Amino acid sequence: MRSRWQGFAVGLALLAMIAAHAARGEAPDAESVIADLPRAFVGDFRWDDDRAIQTVAIRFDTVRRLDAAHVEATGCGVYETEGRSTAINVRMQVTLPGLAVEIWEAAPDQPAFVTDGSHRGSLSGDLRGIEARWTTTATGQQGRLRLEAAPAGRCAPASAT
């Protein structure tokens, strides 16, 4: 009888180890996010009440661990719409586990560009996609950001590169 319980305990321990290993594969840790996060993303942004689609390109120059549960990526980007381009600074925080993201934009080179708010959403499990909602702090105005990994990002309008 005793060996039956020992076998059960060993089997249970093995199942726990397998489950823990599988869970790690589904939720990257900070070091794997730092190593595997693409350094460039491209996509689009659209305000909820506007039909105009803005093209977005972002480049992360620095990716670092803030603590066991957070990774920060900083860099720059550019929004282009209707013949206008706006260069910005970008900061993204990734929260682990779960890959929740918050993205802040700052220092636009165009005065009318809105930076009073942030994008909140998620990074895909393979780290190659970002889906987020922008909310402007002062007005509550919202929009949708969709980005995919790219071979290269840029921080200036296409005509300036």
Query: What proportion of the chain, given as a percentage, has pLDDT over 90?
Result: 73
CATH of the domain at 74: 2.40.128.620
* Residue at 17 is within a domain: no
Q: What is the mean pLDDT of the chain?
A: 86
Q: How many C-alpha atoms does 41 have within 13 Å on its Cβ side?
A: 29
> Do residues 147 and 130 make contact, with C-beta atoms less than 8 angstroms apart?
yes
Nearest to 63 by CA among 29, 96, 38, 97: 38
Residue 25 lies in a domain: no
Neighbours of 109 (CB within 10 A): 12
The residue type at 85: S
Q: How many domains does the structure of the chain reveal?
A: 1
Query: Could you give the count of Cα atoms lying within 13 Å of 55 in the half-sphere of its Cβ?
Result: 12
Q: Is residue 8 a part of any domain in this protein?
A: no
Task: Calculate the CA 129 to chain-centre distance.
Answer: 7
Q: How many CA atoms lie within 13 A of 143 on its CB side?
A: 19
pLDDT of the chain along its 161 residues, tens only? 444 444 444 444 433 333 443 344 557 899 999 999 999 999 999 999 999 999 999 999 999 999 999 999 999 999 999 889 999 999 999 999 999 999 999 999 999 899 999 999 999 999 999 999 999 999 999 999 999 999 987 787 665 54
Domain range for 88:
30-160
- At 73-88, the pLDDT tens digits run 999 999 999 889 999 9
